[in-house]
Structure 1
Amino acid sequence: MAGPAETLDTVLDEHDAALAQAAQRCLMAALDHPHAAKIKLVADGEEMPAVELPPKVLRFMADLLGLMGQRQPVMLVPQKHELSTQEAAALLNVSRPFVVKQIEAGRLPARKVGRHRRVLFEDLMAYQQSLRRETEDALQALADEGQELDI
């Protein structure tokens, strides 16, 4: 792995996407047994040991395979991962100075490490959600005003 945040940025071709969908269906079928404490994965025709996984792990893998089968990009980020202001800006698709202004205004939580600011990934995602809500509310207000004015 290259770093704490991993991106599967290669788009799967049709064959690999179909394999991911088939694997997802197999995992979901295995998960249909609600009383299973563990599920064993066995390699077919090879001398490899079986792997036992808890159902929660398999559900996560099935969800991941489902996204891959739909050829959607996937990014795995540890829950407490910290980002630089540049990384945060790239994820929000805004400039780094904008992120710094949001931090200084108290709208985006961050901590200082020496002279650098670090933003928790989960705080950044919460901030992004609040921006989306504000945008949706503003659009709804404009739509309501347009209806009142018969526009």
Structure 2
Amino acid sequence: MASQIPSHFEMVTPNQADAELARESSRSLAACKLPPGTGIRLRLGDDDDGESIVVPASAFRLFQNLLTEMSQGNAVTLVPTQAELTTQQAADILNVSRPYLVKLLDEGKIPSRLVGQYRRVRLDDLMVYKSRDDKARNDVLDQLSADAQDQGMGY
């Protein structure tokens, strides 16, 4: 969703040709295993005169993830974790209503700050909350599943 990212970040939605090229590239790059802290040399251009650059292994892994998402036809963008989101953008990421998100902010469950009269939520704070919430939800599901097994409910 375009509303999930700040407007100054570009979102790339792959067409069918891009998705297929990303799929092929992703498969080729998946074979490259780099130890953390190393770099990888990339050649830009089709001929021997192309420029060669070295990128960190972490950037290479991020690029692999980007290609994987594009190969599945998913729109992608790169947003720094310290980016600040509006309450609507944050609610969209959590897939909740904006009033519910505001309630979470009022309860202090997600940190926020005021810019004038508007609240801003840092993406990294939002993702910490989402991770905690996902874990709590999974723990409840695991417990329900275990209880169903104990009671012979066939789940």
TM-score interval, normalised by the smaller of the two chains: 0.7 to 0.9
**Distance (Å, rounded) in 2 between the aligned partners of 1:143 and 1:26:** 40
TM-score (norm 1): 0.75
Counterpart secondary structure, 1:75: coil
Q: Any residues of structure 2 matched to 1:84-103 within 5 Å, and which? A: 84-103=86-105
- 2:3 paired with 1:3: no
TM-score calculated relative to the size of structure 2: 0.74
Unaligned runs of 5+ in 1: none
Aligned residues: 145
CA RMSD of aligned residues (A): 2.9
Q: C-alpha distance in 1, partners of 2:11/2:34?
A: 32
Secondary structure of the residue aligned to 2:77 is strand
CA contact under 8 A between 2:43 and 2:50: conserved in structure 1? no
Larger radius of gyration between Structure 1 and Structure 2: 1
Could you list the per-position Cα deviations for residues 29-67 of structure 1 after superposition, in whole angstroms to 9, with x for gaps in the alignment?
6x5687x85524131259x75141324333432332233
Whether 2:150 is the aligned partner of 1:142: answer no
Give the residue type in structure 1 aligned to 2:19.
A
C-alpha distance in structure 2 between counterparts of 1:108 and 1:33, whole Å:
36
Identity %: 35
Q: 2:74 aligns with which of 69, 72, 75?
A: 72
Residue 86 of structure 2 contacts residue 121 of structure 2 at CA under 8 Å; is this kept in 1?
A: yes
Is this contact kept in 2: 1:85–1:96, CA < 8 A?
Answer: yes
Q: 1:54 to 1:108 in 2, by over 3 A?
A: same
Q: Which moved more, 1:93-102 or 1:68-77?
A: 68-77
